[in-house]
A and B are shown apart, each in its own frame.
Chain A
Amino acid sequence: MQWNQDEKFNQIVAYLEQNGCDFPILIPWLQNQKEFFSKWEDDITKHISFLYNHKDLYAIVFAYEDDYCGVVYQGGQLFPFGQTEENLFGHDYIVEMMIHFGDTKKIAEIVPEIHGMNVENKMKVLKNVKFNLEGYHFR
């Protein structure tokens, strides 16, 4: 079966659409992530986070254990990133800053168990932190 006819693929697309990310340009990129998404065995929503700057969507981040990748949507174009990328264009400064917020002393004072968590779990915690909604925050 084609990956884009797979139930999980459709669930991901539907979840992104529900969250206002119905960019047609996203579909071909998602189709290329079959290997990454196929590792997800359960609820897809726990692997997907939306990074906002105030009311503007900045990036969609997909995480599985310690792996993550995603896209920045800018001016009608997608700019993919991932932590395994070794070149400048596969690495997003803001996404890195926000994911690494999970390693700071400040968050550890409120959620001490965050240290030692993998990226996927850190993202889950950060989605539930009551961030200042006028700045960068995960949803």
Chain B
Amino acid sequence: MFEAYEGFLNLDHILQEEYQYTYQGDLQDFYQQPFVEMEGVGVDALCWISYRGQKYLFKPIDDFSYNVWGELLSQEVAREMGISCASYRAASLGNLKGVITKSFIKQNETLILGGEVFQRFLNRNQKLTKDLYQRMEESFKNSEDFDSDITLRQKNFFRYLNNLEYISLILEENPNINNKETESLIDFFEKMLLFDLVTMQKDRHPDNWGIKKSLEESETVHYRPACLFDHANSFGLGMKFMKEKVVSFRSQYFDLLLLKDEKRKKELFHQGFPAFTLSANNTFVDENQENISFSKVLKDYLEKTSEDHYIHFINYINQLDVNFLDKMIKTAEIKNGLMMNPDVYYYISVLFEYHIKQLQHVCNQVQRSNENAVESGRKI
């Protein structure tokens, strides 16, 4: 992507060279340009820019020097984990700083977002939908997440479906997707779930994952996983007032170390909830806010997955540490011509270490309980 340009991408410079166009901060004028298009999904992505036969999406990022690292580090972790992910480069346009990413949709392909997958399932399967909706209402009747407004109710229902268990069910009943494609899609979404657990991704709502439908020359249609995209809300980043949060983190953490206050430490380290989970049971928050944590999702996964997946993931988690994160940071810094500021480094590394230890703790617990089960089995 923009191989001729190294490091941080200055889009003003590129547009000047390619189109002799100078962006002067006037978006109305900018959108009139033949090489610019608007993105209809999401509130953050600003525009698509055509450049030498390819299209690139530019997304400005608030508190850039803090929040940009979510996207850049996630991309490196995805590469390390062998999961296909959209490529991102840090870039600027006028006084806007953000990331730019190349379109991963070819002319014969259509990206079907999770929201459309759910909507089409709802259309096709009204009886099953009614059953699932009723199940949701029964399970979470006391939840504050429900609302009488139909748009919000539907959003909550799609949130309820946004897990590996129901996506598998939805794909399996889809007559257009064959068994092999279903298997490959489920395998990809399982990897996505684990990737989200490692990177503390909490924004994998139904419009942040998708399926690629491609029409081949033989007129046959195929369904494949779309690569991962949109990871601004990972590694504890992407929140409002990020700068203030990061800057005050160090002193708050030191205070808690001195006070040895574990409860407040847990609160300080709390990073919200994963949006994409293993099962519907992890969807809504109970009064203790405990049914939806990253650790709970991992525990459920390890208890339910096959033995080879279980061993593979436990081994993977156990080798993660701050050195791994340092390596990812270094790579992202070199590629993007950026230096992570020390406050951000401190925040991310402390948080990541804590998070990974929590995950490793879950792995050890599940491993011990499995060993005990085997042991008692032997005794019997």
* Real binding pair: yes
The chain A residues found within 8 Å of chain B, CB to CB, are 53-56, 58, 72, 74-75, 77, 79, 85-89, 91-94, 96-98, 101, 104-107, 109-110, 129-137
Q: Tell me the bound Cα distance from A95 to B57 in angstroms.
A: 22
**Interface residue tally of chain B, by bracket?**
35 or more
Do residues A94 and B116 form an inter-chain contact, with CB atoms below 8 A?
yes
Instruction: Given the known inter-chain contacts A54-B105, A74-B124, please indicate yes or no for A131 contacting B119, CB distance below 8 A.
Output: no
- Of the 9-residue stretches B39-47, B71-79, B255-263, B364-372, which lies at the interface with chain A? B39-47
Chain A binding surface SS class: mixed
Residues of chain B within 8 A (CB-CB) of A79 are 123
Residues of chain A within 8 A (CB-CB) of B40 are 98, 101, 131-132, 135-137
Do residues A94 and B43 form an inter-chain contact, with CB atoms below 8 A?
no
Do residues A94 and B115 form an inter-chain contact, with CB atoms below 8 A?
yes
Do residues B41 and A133 form an inter-chain contact, with CB atoms below 8 A?
no
Q: Which residue on chain B has the smallest CB distance to residue A89?
A: B126
Question: Quick check: is B273 within 8 A (CB to CB) of the other chain?
Answer: no
Residues of chain A within 8 A (CB-CB) of B129 are 88-89
Question: Quick check: is B85 within 8 A (CB to CB) of the other chain?
Answer: no
Instruction: Given the known inter-chain contacts A94-B115, A97-B41, A105-B43, please indicate yes or no for A134 contacting B105, CB distance below 8 A.
Output: yes
Q: Tell me the bound Cα distance from A116 to B171 in angstroms.
A: 40
The chain B residues found within 8 Å of chain A, CB to CB, are 27-28, 31, 36-41, 43, 46, 48, 55, 57, 103, 105, 109-112, 115-116, 118-120, 122-124, 126, 129, 133, 150-151, 153-155, 157-158, 175-176, 207, 213
7 additional A-B residue pairs with CB within 8 Å, beyond A89-B129, A132-B48: A58-B116, A79-B123, A91-B151, A98-B40, A105-B43, A131-B37, A132-B55
**Nearest chain B CB to A52 CB, angstrom units:** 9
Residues of chain A within 8 A (CB-CB) of B133 are 88
Residues of chain A within 8 A (CB-CB) of B36 are 130
Instruction: Given the known inter-chain contacts A94-B116, A97-B41, please indicate yes or no for A56 contacting B31, CB distance below 8 A.
Output: no
Instruction: Given the known inter-chain contacts A53-B112, A88-B129, A110-B27, please indicate yes or no for A135 contacting B123, CB distance below 8 A.
Output: no
Do residues B157 and A134 form an inter-chain contact, with CB atoms below 8 A?
no
Do residues A135 and B41 form an inter-chain contact, with CB atoms below 8 A?
yes
Residues of chain B within 8 A (CB-CB) of A85 are 150
For B154, give its contact among A88, A134, A135 (CB under 8 Å): A88
Q: Tell me the bound Cα distance from A93 to B153 in angstroms.
A: 11
Do residues B122 and A54 form an inter-chain contact, with CB atoms below 8 A?
no
Instruction: Given the known inter-chain contacts A53-B116, A98-B40, A131-B37, please indicate yes or no for A91 contacting B27, CB distance below 8 A.
Output: no
For A72, give its contact among B28, B123, B154 (CB under 8 Å): B123
Instruction: Given the known inter-chain contacts A94-B115, A106-B43, please indicate yes or no for A131 contacting B38, CB distance below 8 A.
Output: yes
